Amino acid sequence: MSIEVLKKLFEDHFRAPAERVQPLQGELGGSGRKIIRLGAGEQTAIGILYGVREENTAFVEFSRHFRRHALPVPEIYAADLSQGAYLEEDLGDTTLFEFLSKNRQGPAIAPQVVEAYRKVVAILPRFQVEAARELDYSVCYPVASFDRQSIAWDLNYFKYYFLRLAGIPFNEQSLEDDFSRLTDFLLSAPRDYFLYRDFQSRNIMLRGGEPYFVDYQGGRKGALQYDLASLLYDAKADLPPDLREQLYFDYLRALARFLPVDHEVFRQHYFAYVYVRIMQALGAYGFRGFYERKAHFLQSVPYALKNLRWLLHHAELPIQLPALMAAFQGMLASEKLQSLASDADNLVVRVFSFSFHQGLPRDESGNGGGFVFDGRSLPNPGREERFKKLTGQDAPVIDYLNQQESVHQYFASVLSLVDATIASYQSRSFKNLMVSFGCTGGQHRSVFLAEQLAKRLRNKPGLEVQLRHLGLENLCK
């Protein structure tokens, strides 16, 4: 797989060679999918490089089908699936999760975020019901339906990679009996709908205040409740219970436009799917965190435990699952897992921009300082008249700096150092990290770099990111 393939797809589609090639994220969720933004003039596109042809085929074919149903998904511009490459519409950089993170104070979530979520749940039935008609499920990967085998994979993932590795005691046969009863109940829900599979806040983009949807390549036939559970009980999003309830009923009202719903029966199956989705997520956290020793994945565990605690007190299933419920109680009482909860947000990363003429930022954490990166070697927008009254937060300056290859090379080096340090700090339970970017005036380059780093870090679990622009604060005095 080569970037040259993406460049050719770009040039063939836009009739112009790519002038800018910007890697956005090396991997999505550990999958190995490479994401690259390509641009020429005002034209941009997102290129994907990934070696699993079946998964690429599913995404491309689903995207084309959803577009025919006028659903807000990226347009596929071009594809060379034999080379593991395709080119899609650029939907920007703001995920629903990032929008939520920037516009909340603890449990208090800004109205514009609530409105974005309401738009999302209103659109979901269109994927599940309207667009599910005439969808070619033969391209699904790895299976065409969320069936008994799929559920068994998720439950065993939870059992062996979370319960076992977290040291939670359980009776193997009793737990398997509960898994069998739970699976029978899950499969009793109607399942002739499109199941997005990973319907969560990081897979929803916001552009112009409107939601757009990505990463449905794992889609298959399944029950309506699964995707709603995935969104509303997305662990790190940590939605308050009252907002979850509001969005739940917003969804049911939207669903009622497509088919009749027995609210009582739907709700019983819904909470069963909530449990399954949480167990699937915990299995992933355990595999990445306990087994692969990637400590930052474990920082999401406390949020999942918080959801479990709420469910045990408020959601009653119509089936008995004594061994599974005992395992959940063991998790909530586990000292090992409680230690994760106490450290859920233990690393505060403070990001600064500043002017070297005004001196270095002071470290008031008692940690003695941190990284100081000198951005004065980079192209300076401040030397051009059109940029003098703007800052590194303004789109023209951002576009200008994004077009400079030296800026991307510089920022990639910064990310490598900071990411490695964060991983080490988290594994050693350090509390503070300070990263500062300086330039001549503290207005353009340093502000841009600080904004870009803060944006990347806000997508990482286990971090509290604080951002200050000291040069801009001084300008306002």
Q: What pLDDT was estimated at residue 26?
A: 41
**Chain region(s) in the chain for CATH 3.30.200.20:** 3-89
What are the residues facing 374 on neighbouring strands? 438
What are the two backbone dihedrals, phi and then psi, of residue 196, each rounded to the nearest 5 degrees? Answer: -65, -35
Distance in angstroms (rounded) separating the CA atoms of residues 54 and 56: 5
Q: What pLDDT was estimated at residue 1?
A: 63
3-state secondary structure of 294: coil
- Whole-Å CA distances, 27 to 65, 441, 463: 26, 35, 19
Angle between helices 301-314 and 263-286 (to 10 degrees): 150
**Is residue 394 classed exposed, middle or buried when 0-12, 13-18 and 19+ CB atoms within 10 A define those classes?**
middle
DSSP 299-314: GGHHHHHHHHHHHHHH
**Is residue 430 classed exposed, middle or buried when 0-12, 13-18 and 19+ CB atoms within 10 A define those classes?**
middle
Give the contacts of 251 (CB within 8 A, at least 6 positions apart): 121, 122, 124, 125, 228
**Side chain identity at 451, as an amino acid letter?**
E
What are the two backbone dihedrals, phi and then psi, of residue 82, each rounded to the nearest 5 degrees? Answer: -65, -25
Distance in angstroms (rounded) separating the CA atoms of residues 85 and 2: 8
Task: For the chain, 477 residues long, give each residue's pLDDT as a single digit of tens.
Answer: 689 999 999 999 999 999 999 888 643 345 678 999 999 999 999 999 999 999 999 999 999 999 999 999 999 999 999 999 999 999 998 999 989 988 987 788 999 999 999 999 999 999 999 999 999 999 999 999 999 999 999 999 999 999 999 999 999 999 999 999 999 999 999 999 999 999 999 999 999 999 999 999 999 999 999 999 999 999 989 999 999 999 999 999 999 999 999 999 999 999 999 999 999 999 999 998 899 887 778 878 999 999 999 999 999 999 999 999 999 999 999 988 887 765 445 688 999 999 999 889 987 666 667 999 999 999 999 999 999 999 999 999 999 999 999 999 999 999 999 999 998 888 776 778 999 999 999 999 999 999 999 999 987 877 888 899 999 987 765
Q: Which two tokens stand for residue 468?
A: 């200050």
Q: Which two tokens stand for residue 452?
A: 């870009």
Distance in angstroms (rounded) separating the CA atoms of residues 321 and 181: 8
pTM metric for this prediction? 0.75
- Please give the biggest Cα pair distance in the chain: 74
- Residue 138 contacts residue 213 (beta carbons within 8 Å): no
Class of domain 96-342: alpha beta
| CA nearest to 463, candidates 350, 302, 336, 373 | 350
Distance in angstroms (rounded) separating the CA atoms of residues 441 and 356: 7
Distance in angstroms (rounded) separating the CA atoms of residues 67 and 62: 9
Terminal C-alpha separation, the chain: 52
**Chain region(s) in the chain for CATH 3.90.1200.10:** 96-342
The architecture (CATH level 2) of 3-89 comes to: 2-Layer Sandwich (3.30)
Distance in angstroms (rounded) separating the CA atoms of residues 212 and 204: 6
Angle between helices 263-286 and 172-187 (to 10 degrees): 140
3-state secondary structure of 349: strand
Q: What pLDDT was estimated at residue 300?
A: 86
